[in-house]
Amino acid sequence: MALDKNWFVEVAPEAGFAQALKIRGKLHEEQTPYQKLEIFDTEDWGNLMTLDGLVMLTARDNFVYHEMMSHPPVMTHPAPRRVAIVGGGDCGTLREVLRHPAIEKVFQIEIDEAVTRAAERYFPELTEANDDPRAELLFGDAIEWMKRQEPGSLDVVIVDSTDPVGPAVGLFQRAFYADCLQALGTTGVLAQQSESPLLHLDTLKAMRAEMKAAGFEQLRTYQFCQPTYPSGWWSATLAGIGVDLRDFREQDARELPFTGHYYSADMHRGSMAMPPFIERALAEG
Ligand code: AG3
């Protein structure tokens, strides 16, 4: 069947891959100082946000990504209190982090305020926790912000970025990771979205090499399904200092004070298992 104008198509030319969502219409289009932001009304996936033609989220499946970006790092740190979210302007990761009563403070540093304003309007369920007194929404360059943080002032850093293109390139580089590491001090966990383990294994390897070079002791890539991202198979990577990333607060994860849709203690453990071809590729460095 040929696709007409009733389909939004994301093309990943580097992977010879494209995917499409059937749309009813476009709700919003804006050229921000950083990127082209569009919101579509889809037939079956609820509202869709894209940046420069790439799917950021749909109402239907963003819960997988947002839960897997927030709960694994928070449950891996032995006593998380202070969190920074880099990017994440739609506030979905922020909402999940704030579900943990032990968290005292969450900074969200998003470069493009238009993303948050659009989320407030078209994805109000994601921004519903924004008035939480523990949340501080900052709009600016997180690379600069991270340099200014006191050593050891953060417990968890979550990099909820776009692909490593445009303003996000620096978020995949050693200098930024080194600044995160110093803000984490002697005990901390960084989590970053790390693309499709099938389509972007080279990107994943390069990112891990930068994390290692910055001084992180341990790395752990994990996986989850994300139907509306290219290949539907996505990953995130934990980088740790003074924390064993093979372990997590499993008992606490079995008694969460909220109900996960995707995340659970078993899903946490399961997400860390990697197919042998990826294990081998990552072991090669
Ligand atoms: N996360 C975007 C991940 C990258 C998606 N890539 C793609 N579609 N090619 C940011 C939005 C969720 N908070």
- Provide the whole-model pTM: 0.97
Distant-in-sequence contacts of 251-257, Cβ < 8 A, 24+ apart: 252/75, 253/71, 253/75, 256/99, 257/99, 257/100, 257/101
Distance CA 260, CA 49 (A): 23
Instruction: Report the CATH superfamily, name and number, of domain 62-284.
Output: Vaccinia Virus protein VP39 (3.40.50.150)
| CB contact at 8 A, 107 and 91 | no
- Determine if ligand 1 sits within 6 Å of the CB of residue 224: no
How far is 84 from 216, CA to CA, in rounded Å?
17
Residue 124, pLDDT score: 98
42-87: pLDDT as tens digits:
999 999 999 999 999 999 999 999 999 999 999 999 999 999 999 9
Residue 103 per-residue DSSP state = -
Q: Which ranges in the chain are annotated with CATH 2.30.140.10?
A: 2-57
- Determine the distance separating the centroid of ligand 1 and the alpha carbon of 55, expressed in angstroms: 6
Evaluate: CB of 89 within 6 angstroms of ligand 1: no
CATH of domain 2-57: 2.30.140.10
Are 55 and 193 contacting, i.e. CB atoms less than 8 angstroms apart? Answer: no
| pLDDT averages per 10-residue partition of the chain, 285 residues | 92 94 98 97 98 98 98 98 98 98 98 98 98 98 98 98 92 98 98 97 96 98 98 98 97 97 98 96 83
Q: What is the residue with the minimal CA distance to atom 3 of ligand 1?
A: 162
Please tell me if the CB atom of residue 195 comes closer than 6 angstroms to any atom of ligand 1.
Answer: no
